[in-house]
Amino acid sequence: MKYIMGAALALGLSTGGAMAGSHLEDVTVQLKWVTQAQFAGYFVAKDKGFYEEEGLNVTIKPGGPDIAPEQVIAGGGADVITTWMAAGLAARERGVPLVNIAQPFKTGGLQVNCLKENGISSTDDFVGKTMGVWFFGNEYPFYAWMASLGIETDGADDNGVTVIKQAFSADPLIQGQADCISTMTYNEYRQILQAGIGEDELVTFNYLQEGFGMLEDGLYVLEENLSDEAFKDKMVRFVRASMKGWKYAEENQEEAAQIVIDNDETGAQTLDHQVYMMGEIAKLTAGSNGALDPADYEQTVQTLLKAVSPDNPAITAAPSGAWTHDITDAALN
């Protein structure tokens, strides 16, 4: 993989150098969440000039709690978005024909953390407990997991859990509002530890290890745009430069964290946390050259099809045409 990436990056430099002096083509990318190391590869690619070397002028738009990337791209506000595959496939089934063109994240960081003191040591102890769950498309692996365990999610009987809608923080566990909460390895988990709760006081369930993993933070475009050869060429160059940014970030984590801080217009992020986050994110991007693994895609689809949410299923049938290797084949080989 290193040899392939090295050759690809060398190609990117040789072709991109000629482009840098000519007219730069605009590309707008909408992030799934706020400026943080979760998206370091894109900020690094922009800061280090990798996009410019590919003849691109890239605008990176931060996300937030009130921003749905799928809606942004559907409305013409972005050329490419980062989002979790659950949200991407759900949007596709609902009329926004998104296609995954690259997958920088090889594995996911979604997990559940529970307090041992609340009588939880295994999944057998979930019944009767209160579970904090993220929604907006992030709830699907939870419902699939509970369905596999035969646990109801309405809290109405002796074989169920009570679900509360969790904000994107660890507060429900820290403040005693929930027995278990959703966390990301690179963010909320550390918040729990910083609140004074030790690792030995926690039980951790990783969705991938439980068999209900979903692909996170892929790159998606509208299917109709892939019929435009000029657009495809821009995406090839965008993916090539982005993956160069991701590999640079993996190998230069403190520098990447500082670049994220420099691009955080809100001033909300701290270097200490971004260095920690970058270290954890590097574990998730390691092993990926940007090309989607079809087996990982199938696991995501099967997880979503098992999700029991009658009022809001992610998908009701296996999708067709939801991903392509065309862009990464051209960008990385």
pLDDT one-digit tens code per residue, 199-223? 999 999 999 889 888 899 999 999 9
Choosing among 1.10.10.10, 3.40.605.10, 3.40.190.10, 1.10.10.410, the CATH entry for 2-106+215-332 is 3.40.190.10
Q: What is the pTM of this model?
A: 0.89
Architecture of domain 110-210: 3-Layer(aba) Sandwich (3.40)
Instruction: Put the strands of the sheet holding 130-133 in their side by side order.
Output: 162-165, 130-133, 180-184, 110-115, 202-206
| Predicted confidence (pLDDT) at residue 17 exceeds the cutoff of 50 | no
pLDDT digits (tens, 9 = 90+) for 67-121: 999 999 999 999 999 999 999 999 999 999 999 999 999 999 999 999 999 999 9
- CATH 3.40.190.10 domain extents, the chain: 2-106+215-332, 110-210
**Residues 221/96, Cβ–Cβ less than 8 Å:** no
Give me the DSSP letters along 138-201.
SSHHHHHHHHHHT-BSS--STTB-EEEEPPSSSHHHHTTS-SEEEEETTTHHHHHHHTT--GGG
242-285 pLDDT, tens digit each: 999 999 999 999 999 999 999 999 999 999 999 999 999 999 99
Mention every residue, 6+ apart, whose C-beta is less than 8 A from residue 148: 211, 212, 306
